[in-house]
Structure 1
Amino acid sequence: MKKTILILSLITLVSFFLVSCGPGKGKLHVESFPDKSDVYIDGVRVGITTLDISIDEGEHVVEVKKEGYKTWRKTIQIRKGKETNIIANLEKALGFIKVETNPEGAEVFVDGESRGFTPVEIDGLTIGEHEILIKKSGYRSIERKVEVTDEGVFISETLEEGFGDVIIMSRPKRAKVIFDGEEKGETPLSINDVPLGKHWITLKKLGYEELTKAINVDMGINKYAFELVEINHTLVIYSEPEGAKVYVNDALKGVTPLEIRNLAPEKTYKVKLELEGYLPYITEIKMPKDGSIFLPTVKLMKLNP
């Protein structure tokens, strides 16, 4: 009996010794900027900031992680019964994109902002998803999303030629259309198989201000409607046949079709058309206070042989 009691006493003493000599606990308080960052202790995720946790005394590796930021890491010593405070200031992680195209010279947009022409390397980008747009006149645009990492992203694209159709309308109609410096006809006008990208349109019509606009042609049908501005105090004269001399108050002004500008408002003018082999045409017009006069096409009569 005494022997049994002695053995039990020894077991109790050993257990007490082991417990008293085992690892103690300390407290760890972790804050971060920005907050709600993941906290890892010795490689194990234990929560998000701001975090208060009780851990074993001794050496530990603390990591604070957040998407788009560099991992913050520190080795700490936890003391039994003591509190250790950590403030982790995270730095934004940056990456880069390198873009090449065939052919070169394509404009590259990142998140809607132009960043140069290929070949180009774009650095200082935050880690994560970005919108990429690659554009070159005469070629189809390329849009894609890329996941940027601190190791960078390489993009290589072969551009495909593309075409669109252009429909040009004007008010009033029958304006002369000059497209990229070449006369194409009168409005309303359709131009097919136009290379994608930027082009220039000029509209001309007697009695109206000349209009020049840049347009951007995309795939499919591109419709453009333009309003021409009438020139005040202008006389516009057409004739059949064309080429008749025009006299205003007996002063030669040119040959038809003709636009005569800057006539005095509310004044009466004598207008005469002459063409060899045809009877002269004579009329009087009174310029309005505002606006212009567009004479109906004058059909000249041939002289009798």
Structure 2
Amino acid sequence: MGLDGSNLKKYKKVHTQRSKLLLLPIFLFLTFGIFPLNNLNAQEADDELATMRVVGSANKVSGEIIADRDDNRDINGNLTAGLRIVSDLTGLTFRSNNGISKIQQLPGYNLLYLSTNERVVQIFKEGFPPFQLVLNDEGINLAAGEVWEIQITGNQKSTTEPVQFTVTPENSRIIIDGEPSEIDGTVFNTELTTGKHFIQVRKDQYEFRDDSITVSADRVNSFQFSLNKINPVPVLISSEPEGASIYINDSPGSSGQTPQRILLYPGDLKVRLTLPGYSNVEDELVLTSENRELNYNLQKYVGYLTVNATPSTATVLVDDVPQSSTENIELVPGVHSLEVRSSGFDAVSRTFTVNLGDTLVENVSLGQITGNLFVIAQQENVEFTLRQNGNIVEEWVGPRTIRDLPVGNYSLTGDLQNFDQKTEQIEILRNDDKTINFDLNRVEGRGSLTINSLFEDAELELKGPGFSRTYTELPLQLPSIPFGQYEIKIEKDGFDDIEQRIQVNSLSQEVTFVDEYNPRSKGKAVWRSILPGAVFPGVGHGYLGKGRGFLYFLAGAGAIGYSVKSYLDYGSSYDKYQTALNEYNTAQQNFVELEAAYVQEYNNAQTALDGLKLGITAYLAVKGIEIFDLLLQPSNKKKFEQAKLEFNAQNSGISMKVNF
């Protein structure tokens, strides 16, 4: 702050007086040996400049937000953050690097609307050096819509002076540094500290005044304010989404729903918007004739719940309402009830608290309710099938104990050859021991059985109660056989064996085998014939027939047998040759006779070796002819299709009708 002429004279006078005062301690010290240093230090401290400082630590204000409204946005169009500066100092002014969008002076504090990337706020007051408030150093992290609070104080020493305000019209309201007072009449007397103060004068249906005053100890502090009558202006209040209820200036009744145009007087205005499922908006602003549109973006007042339930088919109820989806269930913040239940399981109920914006995950595993099942039968080897809802749960033979079987309704079927099938409905209850005793009824009686086959030369083996026979010609007609279960096995060269069970329990029964025949692959038959040792009857017989296949078997087996015999003879002759040669080399006489012996054995070994080669060559020739013969045969698949056409033409109307 600069010094004008009068201030400069005062400064010189004070400085001269201070210099004289500094000489006084020196004189006293020289005269009496006394130096009042403490008084000197106190005098210097008193003359130091006053300073501002932070009290305590900053904190984020819960339950207060910056309304998402157009005039609450910064120069870049982004929603601002709020910084509430609480102070016992008056006449504070503020500045920031990015610019302060607006300032609200409210009772006991100033609310600054700042860009979220703001880092430093400067605070000014007369008689104090500027104070740099570095937000990061105080732990303040600004976010759009959030409000932070910090307290500032100072060590300024000031005096209070009487102040008189004259305000027209009468009975107005005056707000001094954020503290409101009602004026009885037109004159308001009070006492204020020296320095600057912010004054707001309000009266309904009159223009408002915002001004600053300076209180001084050197003069009479009297101030006058006059308000002019004004007219209401139409204000459009809208929201996204629409349909929010509008409440103006603490009015108990709604003024309509957004969007709504309302006649309002410029001045202090309170707007509250409510919409189910969204956070309430409470906004205090100074309405001017320019800002005739107020638009608010409502924020969903919800938290989210995800329920992971076991079993996954369990029903999830939140606040007694079944949920079609168990992920990201939207809920109003607060305490809610959760119930998970499923048939055959113990239900789980609990309460939980969801906060605004939270995503809460609840993991719930239901305990299964079980009982025990004991099954016995009066007959041996009864085949049991346990079903639930038509699905097979378990199958077994003979008596069985099943523990921890889930509760519910089941059907148990017992089946035994030559006995009537029996099914019982059972219910398993919690911790219950259920005993089922099966006593099957033997089937008595005889009936006829006719078996038709695609191939008449197939071989049929039939086994039943006290019955086991083999048939080489089909169709087969058995005019009288006992009731009961029979096993059928059909063999046909070139086709997989067919194995089926049938239940004879009627006077006349007929069964036909057509599509059950599965042709064997020619390539597979050739490959198996190439394998070493594949000389047994039946390999490749699906194409060559058992007779021809057996001939190939005899030829191949004979060649292999001759090869084995020649190999054994070769080994024996070679051993004898070695013995005879050793005797010849160690002999002292009879050289001619011994030489003839080892030469003869050598020739025998060579003859056996030639026989081995001949046997192997004969085996390979037989296999080659067999494989060549296989390749010349028509495909079993073609045989099957041709036989099927002929069978259908000759036996139109015959189809398999049998209980397997």
When the two structures are superposed, what TM-score results if normalisation uses the length of structure 1? 0.46
Higher-Rg structure is 2
Structure with a larger share of its residues in strand: 1
When the two structures are superposed, what TM-score results if normalisation uses the length of structure 2? 0.24
Structure with a larger share of its residues in helix: 2
